[in-house]
Amino acid sequence: MKIILKEQMNIEGVYDKLLEAYLPYTVTLKKNPIGRWQYIEVKKNAWVGVWIRYKEKSNSLRIYSVVPSMLARVLLGGLLMVTINYFATRNLIKDVSDKLKEL
Which tens digits make up the pLDDT trace of 12-38? 888 998 999 988 899 999 998 898 888
- Amino acid at residue number 94: K
Residue 49 CA, chain-centre distance (Å), reads 7
Q: Which residues contact 90 (CB under 8 A, 6 or more apart)?
A: 65
Containing structural domain, residue 73 = 2-102
- Cβ burial of 63 (10 Å; 0-12, 13-18, 19+) is buried
- Sheet of 2-4, strands arranged across: 2-4, 60-66, 49-55, 38-43, 26-31
Distance from the first to the final alpha carbon of the chain: 16
Which tens digits make up the pLDDT trace of 47-84? 788 889 988 788 888 888 877 666 666 666 666 666 76
Say how many domains are in the chain. 1
- Round to whole Å and give the CA distance between 41 and 57: 20
